[in-house]
Structures are given as structure tokens and as C-alpha cells.
Chains A and B, each alone.
Chain A
């Protein structure tokens, strides 16, 4: 009952097996060896599984793997590395916005997409843009500050 699908993730082809109910999240974590995308609820609410599909943020837990064949998927592993973090990641580091880190991959994806669309996002736009993602540790303020810092740094 599973079929082969080829996913394009972070610029690489990944041949995977997926059934009708297999989500992109499951395939990324269990078959593509990309566990950076987290599962916090499997119901679309927490945002820990956020990835970019065609450059836009989606919930990987609500996206079926077989529905992704023609689409470019970007996960947290594809947006920056420990040695070369992207602007959002660097700002999160510098602001001390990360605590347990479980929400962080999803936050980075959401914020990266947000700044792509609104490079000069102000605090209110950032609060709106990050409202897709739950964080239970930080109280959000430092995350919002970090994204604002990333926006300002990119602008200058």
C-alpha cells in the first residue's frame, strides 16, 4: 500500500516510500534523515513541524508526502548550518532567545519566510507572523526581538 515518491528536499532528491496517509513530517524524519523538523502535536497547531514548500511555510504534519512530489521542500537543515547560520538563526543566538529549542526549527522557518516577504517587518508584523508557532519556554519576547534584529541587520 505504499508507493515510491521522490521528494526534493533542500535541493536534493530523496526517494521515499509513502502510503496515502503518510505525512511529509513522517517521511522527513524517518526516511530522509532530517529530524530537525519536530513533531509537537501532529494536528497543525504547534508549528514545530513548519517547513517551506515552494518557498511558503506549511505544516509538514498536515501535508501528505504523496502530495509533494512536484514541490521544492526546505527544512531547517536547509536554511543554515551551525557554522553558517542564516540571519534569523544568528539573531536568535545573539538575543538569547532559545531555551529548550524544540520550537526553534519551526520558528526559524516561520521567521525566515516572514522576512522574505516583509524584509522590513516591524514588531507588530513579526508578532503576527510568528503567531503560527507555539513556544512554551520563552514567553516570545526575545524571539520577536531576535527577528526584529535580523530584519534590521539585513536592511543595513
Chain B
């Protein structure tokens, strides 16, 4: 199928469908919404890291003019939510578990009143000893953060106890034998900090209850269905009583996937009987939504003198924060990615996830992979240096290819990694590089590779033909700004050979959209795309049935023609339009045309013949995109500050449905990864986050970002992908810290194992290197 004859079909960089409303300020985000009679909510946050709640006194707050309701944990039942472990109430109940945790909420006539009123709530606490690091949490005499962990509902075979939330282990081959065969072994410990997602839109929600007691909820989210599940679980509501919808979303990088304030807002709306809106301040958003896990990775890699990688042993320790959230998944996924895109026969990766009295950590672009990638990919460079091999050649010697298996044993149906490496190598002029030298600066180049999944969990699509032949697409996938509405529409248009503006796309609605687990894990293009293609095929079948009857010919003689037509092959003038067919279907025969397709990703993560897994949170996961990045950095000798000056990002996306959007994902992912690599870190003083503001937590600006960001698209089509497509949402971030670290090594002959590689760390290492030599 080719899209050449239809404007906007697959392969074309058409503008976002909603771009005009966004550029002119007309797009509506959660904070822009209102409802008649609406109240405003505000939260009170815990001042303690770990404390028992002894009593509440809300009388003064309730007495304040304009205050309508005060909500505390005592007002709610014992419902708990959680993606993997149901360990979290809608609002703190009995205990608080981190500084900043919502412990009470107010609904009032104005936001100012609500914010003033929360300060009048008196809570008596009994402070408990706090656990601030995973190591502390694992100690024998550690205070226990969740006393009832054993009783909590878990959706996977969690190995847990005490403050250990889960322990997961994957292994294949024979590790001891592997290391025994190695001529050289590198070993290191790597530390990475908490990173804030910092979507520029802060989180918020608006809920209202109708006369029948049913609630409609709008919120900043990445999945209307996960929102529905979390609210209903935590408040003990049947799902039939809650409708979850979405306005435009101002960015989501994992932070809006699971619940934030939605359960609190729904509770307030149900109690007051009035619409309630609550938008977090930037500071609150920093303190109580979620962030990337602080992580420690021990990594050991063995290689033979000819450059063959023979063994890798990885052990990770993940700070879970106070609630499980997506963390078990992040742990499992990081272990699955720990081998990297290399055919290493003997591998073990094992990890522990530990509760601490910090904010919950959760999903963040890369889902654990950037940290193990940082460890693994810098070790590859260390090995190359030791063997005096070019780091790219060493990688090429070991990379996976189509038909090989991933860690765990799932087979790679497509793999364009070699093409990615070749392309990045050539575009960056890696082999003949002659980097400009400026006095006072040192330049270097580094490479790193990565892979990322596209396939997991359930999704669906419904495609309908309207009376006039227009097509209506409904998938339930939330477009968080990454462009899925556009890409899914392009696929639908391509499949039915209609122009993009002949297809409408519905906003996700739990009442009317088919289930979609969420806009996360780089999965929408691949999984939902497949659903769209399946639903469109069903529509095409129905259209053909009608056309065959209308033109009195056999099915085989028919062909889909551009512009919403079905014609008889070889007879140019002989055709019927979707319009004519749809009128017939609506009014005379067969019924309105509706096609749907739903499916769940069912390729096993583990092939038991090849690998062993314990405590794995996702039994079915797969379909890999690949990338090879080359970056150039310049390090200031005076300060140790490293800047990225150029980058080449070759990425195998199977098929670029919208190449411009692929570039956008790669560039945005790169810069977020660069922030993680060089400047960003959330810092706690004891239990208190000390930089929960944009003045103190710094993300890159235009001036910190290279303008030379080159995306090179490689298309190794995935056989069952929609038009061959695979995901691209996260892979732009994953190899960035490692590539930058390798470039800094090239420039300064130092090797950093802790992120961020801020000036202080670089300078100290440079000084040590100078003294050592």
C-alpha cells in the first residue's frame, strides 16, 4: 500500500490535527476547564516523612467563609489502588509516609479560600522513624512502612516482605562458566538520581456528579482507563459509576499515567454534590506526583580478547518511595534491558525494589532502562578501550539481529540496529572525525546503543462509516502531546484510502471508547495502530459486501480506490462511494457500518527453554525498536561543565508513519535525557525535597541544547506492526546518558559512574586524572 495519492497518509509528515488550536491558545487543558457552580480544591501536605495520624481538627477550616468541605482519610473507606500492588489510599489514612503526601483536602468557593483553609486544618501526628534509602529499608531493624504489605492485593507473583516491595530475577546461560571464559572483566557501580518529569502542565482534575450519583471526571492523564481504575479502586466505586474523560494534555512522561489528585477530587465532588476542580501548584506537583527512581546498578561484564561478550551480571537496587505505583514494572523492565542489544549468552540480572519514606517513584520515559543502559553502555566502552578496539566495532561484533532472541528468549522479528550503527557512524563522520579544538575546551565523541519495547497489554479500536461516507475513529488512546491522534488517523486514512481530513478522531472516553491500557511504554503506535488497522479491515470487509451487492459482482473483482470509493478492478468508471454504501447500510440493508478490533499483546517475555524468571511483573512483552546515538561534547576546562554540541540519532522505528513526529520524539527525548545526564536531580535534605521549584530544579533551555540534533530514520519493518511500525516514544532518551558519558571520557579521559555529570563531578575527576598521571 502506498500513500502517495492521498494527502496525509502513512509516511507523510503532516502537521498535528490539533495544531491550529494549540498555536493560537485555543486548546483546552484541565486548568482551562470550568463548570457552573464549581468549587476549587486544595490539598494539605504532610510535614512528616513517617508518622501516625492521631487526630484531625477541621473545625476552623470548615468555619472559614467560603469553605464547603474538608476531606481527610477518616472520611474514606479502606480502598486501595496501585498498578502492581494495591497499597495506596486516595489520601493518607492512618499514616503519612512521605513529606508532601496529601493528608487532607478542602473544597471552597475560590482557590484562594481553599488554599488558605487547608492551613487551618490541625492534625496531630505521632512521628515515626523514617526510612530514607533502600539500604536503610533493608536493614534488619528498619521501621516498616507498610505493615500490611503481605495482605495487599498484588497482580503479579511479587516476592516481598518487610520494606522489600519486590525482588525480580532473570537469568539465562551459565554465569560462572561465562565469566570463567572471559579474558577480561569490567565491573562497576553506577548511581542515578531522581529526575522530575516536569511536564510544563502541572497535574489537575475536575469532577462532577450528576443527579443519579454518577461522576464525570476530567483530568490530566495518560490513560482515561487507568484513571478510572485507580479512582474506583481507591474509593470503592463500581466502574459503572465513573466516567473518565480527557482534555488536551500538556505533556506526560509517565507522571500522568497512574493517579495523582483524581481520587481526591472525585471524593470532594461526591461529598459536596458540586463540581470540584483542583490544579496542583508547580511545587506540589514536584512533591507529590511522582518522579524517576533513584537507582544503583552494579554491573559486571566479561569479554574474550577477540571482543566477544560472554557474560554479564547486573544487580539493581531501586528506591520505590512510599508507594508501589509502577515501580515493580520499572524494576522488571530494567532487568529485561540489562543485557543490552547484545548476544551475551550468560546473563543474570537481579533487582530489589524497596519502600522508603520519600515520594512515590514511578514510570518515566525509559522505564528503568536509561540507568542500566548507562551502566552497560559505558562498560562496553571500557572494554573497547582495554582491547584497543573501536567502540563501534566492538558493538557491531556483538549486536543482535533479526531472528536472534532478546534477553528472556523472545524472538526479534525485526532489528535494524546494524543499519542504525552504520548510519550514525557515517553521518557523524566517526571514523575520520577531526573535532574542532577551542582553547580552554576539550571535545570528544561518544556512542551508545539502545532498544525499547513497543508491545504490551490490551487495546482496541472502533472505526465507523458515517452517513456521508466520513470515517469516525475511536481508540481510547490519550494523545499526551506526542501525536498519536494524528498518527492513528493517518493509519486509518491509509487503510481505507481516504484523506486524513475525512477521518475524525474521538477524544478518549471510558463510556464510549474501547479499552486502552495507556499512552506509555512506547506502545500506542504499535499496539493501537494494529487495532486501528484491524478495525479498518473489518470496515473494508463490510463495505465490500455492500459494494458487491450494489454492483452485482463478486468480492474478488473489487478494489479500494482513493477518496472513499470501491470500484471494479480494471473498469475505471465502475465504482460506488462510501457515501452511497453508508446510506444503503443506514437506511436499507445490513445496518450502519462499524468495525472493531481489540487485542492484547500475548508474546511471552520468557521462553522457559532459554531463561528463568522469578517475580516478573509482565509475562507478555516484546517487539523492539533500536537506536544508535553518537554525540559530541565540549567540556569547559575551567569549570568542568559539559555541553553537548552535536548529536546524531539513528533509530529503527519499523516504519515512520509520520517522520516529522518521529524526529520530534527523538529530539525531545534527547534533550530530556541530556538534562538527566548533565544537570537534573531532585535533592533531599534528610526527608525534605529541597528543590521542588523551577528556580532550583533546572531543565535545559534553548541555549543549553544543541541545534545540531540529527535524526536518522531506519525502517526495519516489524512483520505484524501496523504498516511495519514500532514505537519511538522513549528510545530517544534511553542511550543519551551513556553516549554523553562516553563522549566525556573521549574528551577528558575520565569515567564517571554517577549522574548527573555535573561540572563538579567532571572537574573533580579531571583533577584526579591529572594528579594520577
Contacts and interface: CB of A to CB of B under 8 A. Distances in A.
Q: Check A-B contact in the complex, CB < 8 A.
A: yes
Interface of A: 29, 34-43, 45-46, 48, 75-77, 79-82, 85, 89, 92-94, 96-105, 108, 123, 126-128, 130-131, 133-144
B202 interface: yes
B660 A136 contact: no
B668 interface: yes
A121 B244 CA distance: 45
A136 B667 contact: no
Contacts of B282: 40-43, 46
Nearest to B669: A139
B387 interface: no
Chain A binding surface, main DSSP class: loop
12 contacts: A29-B31, A45-B693, A85-B24, A94-B15, A100-B248, A102-B481, A108-B25, A126-B702, A127-B707, A131-B703, A139-B664, A142-B663
Interface residues of B, number: 56
B19 A98 contact: yes
Nearest to A91: B23
A98 B20 CA distance: 10
Given A35-B32, A40-B282, A140-B667, 19 more contacts: A38-B29, A40-B200, A46-B282, A46-B694, A76-B24, A96-B16, A98-B22, A100-B201, A100-B481, A101-B21, A108-B23, A127-B702, A128-B703, A138-B664, A139-B672, A139-B709, A140-B701, A142-B663, A143-B702
The residue among B13, B31, B667 with the most chain A CB atoms within 10 A of its own CB is: B667
Contacts of A101: 18-19, 21-23, 27, 248, 250, 481
A144 B18 CA distance: 20
The list of the 3 closest CB pairs from A to B, nearest first, reads A36-B25, A100-B481, A101-B22
B482 interface: yes
Contacts of A137: 200, 251, 481-482, 664, 668
Interface string B231-263: 000000000000000001111110000000000
Contacts of B26: 36, 77, 82
B251 A136 contact: yes
Interface in B145-176: none
Nearest to A83: B20
Nearest to A123: B707
Contact of A130 (B31, B660, B702): B702
A102 B25 contact: no
Interface in B11-63: 13, 15-16, 18-29, 31-32
Given A40-B201, A81-B24, A141-B667, A92 B705 contact: no
Contacts of B669: 139
B281 A102 contact: no
A94 B481 CA distance: 17
A4 to B, nearest CB: 18
B711 to A, nearest CB: 9
A6 to B, nearest CB: 22
Given A85-B20, A96-B661, A102-B250, A43 B702 contact: no
Contacts of B267: none
B329 interface: no
B10 to A, nearest CB: 16
Contacts of B702: 126-128, 130-131, 133, 140, 143-144
A27 to B, nearest CB: 13
Contact of A102 (B13, B199, B663): B199
B695 interface: yes
Nearest to B198: A136
B25 A75 contact: yes
B668 A131 contact: no
Contact of B15 (A48, A96, A100, A136): A96
B480 interface: yes
B693 to A, nearest CB: 6
A83 B673 CA distance: 37
A76 to B, nearest CB: 3
A39 B29 CA distance: 11
A36 B29 CA distance: 9
Given A40-B282, A43-B694, A48-B200, A139 B670 contact: yes
Interface in B176-224: 197-202
B326 to A, nearest CB: 20
B303 interface: no
B671 interface: yes
B694 A45 contact: yes
A92 B23 CA distance: 7
A39 B660 CA distance: 28
Contacts of A141: 667, 705, 707, 709
A134 B15 contact: no
B469 interface: no
Nearest to A96: B660
A100 B250 contact: yes
Contacts of A127: 702-703, 707
B529 interface: no
Nearest to B248: A101
Nearest to A143: B702
B199 A136 contact: yes
A97 B664 CA distance: 7
Nearest to A82: B20
A123 B706 CA distance: 11
Given A131-B701, A140-B705, A96 B23 contact: no
A52 B51 CA distance: 48
A38 B199 CA distance: 13
B360 to A, nearest CB: 20
A102 B201 contact: yes
Given A41-B694, A43-B282, A98-B22, A136 B32 contact: no
Contacts of A45: 693-695
B667 A42 contact: no
A46 B15 contact: no
B660 A76 contact: no
B82 interface: no
B483 interface: yes
Given A40-B282, A102-B251, A92 B19 contact: yes
Contacts of B200: 38, 40, 46, 48, 100, 102-103, 134-137
The residue among A35, A46, A103 with the most chain B CB atoms within 10 A of its own CB is: A35
A86 to B, nearest CB: 9
Nearest to B32: A35
Contacts of A140: 667, 671, 701-702, 705, 707
Contacts of B668: 99, 136-139
A109 B25 CA distance: 11
Given A128-B703, A131-B702, A100 B199 contact: yes
Contacts of A126: 702
A86 B31 CA distance: 25
B699 interface: yes
A2 to B, nearest CB: 11
Contacts of A130: 702
A139 B20 contact: no
A92 B199 CA distance: 20
The residue among B481, B669, B693 with the most chain A CB atoms within 10 A of its own CB is: B481
Contacts of B199: 100, 102, 136
Nearest to B282: A41
Contacts of B482: 99-100, 137
B693 A43 contact: yes
